[in-house]
Each structure stands twice: as C-alpha cells, then as structure tokens.
Amino acid sequence: MTGHPTTGPATGGTKPGIRQRLSRAMSPGTAFSARHQSLTTVVTFAAIGILLPVIVLLPPFSGFGTQNDWVGGFADAGIFVLLAIGLNVVVGWAGLLDLGYAAFFAIGSYTYAYGASPFTGLHIPFWFMLPIGAFVAASFGIMLGAPTLRLRGDYLAIVTLGFGEIVPAVFLNASTLTNGTNGIVGLDQPSFGRLFGVGDFGFTNPWPYFVTILGIIAVAFMLLSRLENSRLGRAWVAIREDELAAASMGINTVTTKLLAFAIGASTAGLAGVYSASKLSIVSPDQFNFTVSFTVLAMVVLGGMGNIWGVAAGAFLIFELQSQGLKQLNTFIGGLGLPAFNLGPITVDLATINFLNYQYLLYGLALVLMMLLRPEGLFPSRRRRRELHELPDEAERGNVELSEADEVEL
C-alpha cells in the first residue's frame, strides 16, 4: 500500500497523549460501549435477532413474503455477513487484497462434508465441526500465505485469485475424493440435542439456523473487534499504511500478515461449515470467483476497515439482490410503463428482469464508490481521513505519495 502519514496533526506537545488519541480514534462510540465492548456486541445482536423478524411483519416487508421466508433469507444473509467481516480483516485492516476468499469458504464447507456425511461415514456433531472447519481453513490460509505474503500487494491479489480458482478446480476434478461435479450430498443436520425442544434443524424451519448464524456472527464480532484494538490490530494498520515503516518499528511483517490471512480464512471456514450444513450439499460450483468478488464488493461498499459497516453492507447488499431486485421487477412491471425507443433499441422496462443486471449494478457501484466515496457507505474514521485528506494536506500528500512510492520500488 502507499504510505502517507496519518498522524500528522498529533505532534503538538500540549495536546492529549498520542495513546489516548489513538484509542479514542480507534474505538468510536460512547465511553460505555468502549469499556464494555463484548457486552455491547451481545446486546446489539440480541436486539437485531429480535427486531429483524418483527420488522418483516410490518408493511411493506410483510407483503413480500411470510415471516419464515424472511427469516430463512436472513439465515442465508448471515453467511455473507460472516464472510464479509472475515475478509475485512484481510482487506480492510491488513490492506492485503485477497481475491480468492471463496477458496477458504469452500475448504470449510468440504471439511464439514468430510466430517459429517455418509460419504466418509463420519458423523461429527456440527458444533465440533465449527472449530475444526475454522482450523482447517486457517491452516490452508497459512499454507498459501507463507510463500506468497512476501509479494507486493498486486501480485498477492493475483496469487490469491489463482488459488481461488485452483481450490474449486481440485474439488471438481479430483472426483474420486470429492465426488466431482455432483458434490457430496446428504450432510448431517446440525442439532441442538434436546435443548429448546429442537432436535435436528430440518429443512422446513429456518429459526434454528437464524439463531445459530446470529450466535456465530456475534462471537466472531466479539473476537474480531477485540483484535482490532489489540497490538495485532494496530500492527495490521501500521503495515497497511507503510510496510517499511512498520518493519523498522519492529513489527514482524510476515507473521503479522500471515495472522491476518489465517484469521480471515478461519472466519470463512466457519461460514463454510454453517453453509454446508444448511444446504446439506457441497459441490464445486458453489465456490466460483463470483462469491469472492461479491464478498469483496460487500466489504468495499460497506466501508473497508469498519467491521459494523462491512456487516451492514453485506446484509444490505444480500437483501437488495435477493429481495430488492425481485421487488423492483414486480414494482416496475406493475406501473404499466409503455415501451420506448432508445435509438435502435426498444426498451420495455416492464419486461426487464433486474436480477440479470446484478453484476452490472455491482460493477457500477464499485466504480462510482471508488470515485466518489472511496471510504464506503459506513466508513471507518481512519480510512475516511486517509482517503479525504484536508485541502492543505492534499498537496503535501501528493508529493509525499510519489516519494513514498519510489522508496518502495
């Protein structure tokens, strides 16, 4: 990454100590939420878990589907929220562009398939498979990262992109081990035992899945947001800002980057285990590059570096693409607009299926976001300051930017 100073104004002697200023800048919010971070997280997710299913009972949402439909959709959205907050560790905090993130998702899913399906005959309970899946994915993250993390950002992007293609290709082609295109079917359902009167989750009732993913996300949130403000989290930011400076301050850049990779991968592993158990099938086509790119789009649009923003971005984008575009079709179709001619092309909005334009919209959103609001919809304070330098800083910043680039060469 390009390096330029972010702590510029913090040099005055009479101002509050840099440590105080830093900690205040890094944990926005009230004093209470800063002191009781984990409790706040739990309360917030409990509130979300209660509010979301209630909101969908209100119009206009109630008109789009039953409460169970919505809750099932939320349980799927949770997969992407989990993926997005995991990728945020790698891209948002450590500044490493990972374009093959779906590979770790795939590894988590196949780990569950091997651990809990008739294919291998093993039937390890879902709850044990969660940490196992996270661990296996993290191991692959380290295996990929160890040789490649020394590479500069752009090269890393390509290597991860290649890895993201290799993993599904292996699952597809090594058919004796993975059952090839058909994938592995009949995976075990998670089960609460006799707790809450719910045995196996089954396929018809979305509520146990909803509660489970909410719980997983809440735990991941607690752990990750503690990491963000830890020594490791500060090391990630330092590396993102200026790797050379970070290294000369005594940060072991390779280990630090490896940890970002492994932690991001383990989150994807969790998402993979959950998603495999929910679908009860894994097959290679679930993990192509569109998954990686969708999650990246979610992270970028949500606001790189801000875990809450990224989660909100992932949730909103998932719901927009699964519900919003569908409703847009119905809505525009219901308006009864006449078809009109645009040069040689006849445009009939009533028959346009907006679902087909999903990637066009992603693409436009990515380009426009980078041009107009590069910090995302819900930016992290630090990123916003980097990306919108003050006017007098901007000129200085430009000069320093090109100088820093040359040093990097």
Partner 1 sequence: MTPATAPLGRVRLSAGRWNVAVGTIAALVAAYVIIDLGAGGEGQAQFINALTIGAIYALIALGYTMVYGIIELINFAHGDVFMVGSFVSWWLLTTLGFNGAITDPLLLGVVLAVGFVFSMGVMGIVGMVIERFAYRPLRSAPRLAPLITAIGVSFILQNLVQVGVSNSIVTTPQIIPNTTLHIGPISISAINLFIIVLAVVLMAALQLFIGRTRLGRAMRSTAIDRDAAQLMGVDINTTIALTFFIGSGLAGAAGVVQGLYFGVSVFTLGFYAGLFAFTAAVLGGIGNTTGAALGGFIIGFIQVIAAVYGYGVWSEVVVFTALVLVLVFRPTGILGQQLGERA
Single out the segment in contact with partner 1 by CB under 8 A; choices: 68-76, 94-102, 104-112, 125-133. 94-102
116 φ/ψ angles, rounded to the nearest 5 degrees: -145, 65
Q: Does 165 bind partner 1 (CB under 8 A)?
A: yes
- Taking the C-alpha atoms of residue 294 and residue 299, their distance in angstroms, rounded to an integer, is 9
Nearest CB to partner 1, comparing residues 10 and 366 = 366
The continuous run of DSSP H or E covering 185 comes out as strand 184-185
Does 172 sit near partner 1 (CB under 8 A)?
A: yes
Of residues 172 and 222, the one with the C-beta less far from partner 1: 172
Q: Interface with partner 1 includes 5 (CB under 8 A)?
A: no
Site string for partner 1, 96-135 (x = CB under 8 A): -x-x------------------------------------
Spatial contact of 85 and 217, defined as CB atoms under 8 Å apart: yes
The phi and psi torsions of 152 (rounded to 5 degrees) equal -70, 160
Q: Which of 128, 155, 196, 340 binds partner 1 (CB under 8 A)?
A: 155
Residue pair 186/112 in contact by the 8 Å Cβ criterion:
no
Decide: 273 and 126 in contact? Cβ < 8 Å.
Answer: yes
Told to check if 331 binds partner 1 by CB under 8 A, we report: no
Return the number of other C-beta atoms located less than 10 Å from residue 75's C-beta.
21
User: 325, 66 in Cβ contact below 8 A?
Assistant: no
Query: Which residue among 86, 95, 272, 303 contacts partner 1 (CB under 8 A)?
Result: 95
Nearest to 57 by CA among 43, 45, 71, 47: 71
Site for partner 1 (CB under 8 A): which residue of 26, 365, 381, 393?
365
Q: Give the separation between CA 232 and CA 387, rounded to whole angstroms.
A: 23
**Interface positions, 366-405, toward partner 1 (CB under 8 A):** 366-367, 370-371, 374, 386-387, 398, 401-402
Site string for partner 1, 214-253 (x = CB under 8 A): ----------------------------------------
CA separation for the pair 308, 225 (Å, rounded):
9
Among 296, 314, 317, 377, binds partner 1 (CB under 8 A): 296
Helices (H), 251-323: 253-279, 289-302, 307-319
346 DSSP β-pair partners: 341
Give the integer Cα–Cα distance in Å for 389 and 59: 43
* 184-185 and 281-282 beta bridge pairing: antiparallel
> In the set 26, 157, 247, 328, which binds partner 1 (CB under 8 A)?
157
Query: Shortest Cβ distance from residue 19 to partner 1 (Å)?
Result: 26
Binds partner 1 (CB under 8 A): choice among 119, 192, 207, 357: 357
Residue 330 near partner 1 by CB under 8 A: no
Closer by beta carbon to partner 1, 78 or else 376: 376
Angle, vertex CA 78, rays to CA 370 and CA 313, nearest 5: 20
Among 27, 179, 329, 358, binds partner 1 (CB under 8 A): 358
Residue closer to partner 1 by CB (options 41, 283) is: 283
The C-alpha atoms of residue 172 and residue 179 are separated, in whole angstroms, by 8
CA proximity to 133, closest of 277, 37, 332, 25? 277
Task: Convert residues 54-93 into a mask of x (bound to partner 1 by CB under 8 A) and - (unbound).
Answer: -------------------------------------x--
Q: Least separation, in Å, of the C-beta of 195 and partner 1? A: 44
By the rule CB under 8 A, 173 interacts with partner 1 = yes
Q: How far apart are CA 334 and CA 285, in angstroms?
A: 35
Binding of partner 1 at residue 169 (CB under 8 A)? yes
Determine the 3-state secondary structure of 168 from DSSP.
Answer: helix
Tell me which residues touch partner 1 (CB under 8 A): 1-2, 91, 95, 97, 99, 147-148, 151-155, 157-159, 161-163, 165-166, 169-170, 172-173, 289, 293, 296, 300, 304, 356-360, 362-367, 370-371, 374, 386-387, 398, 401-402, 408-409
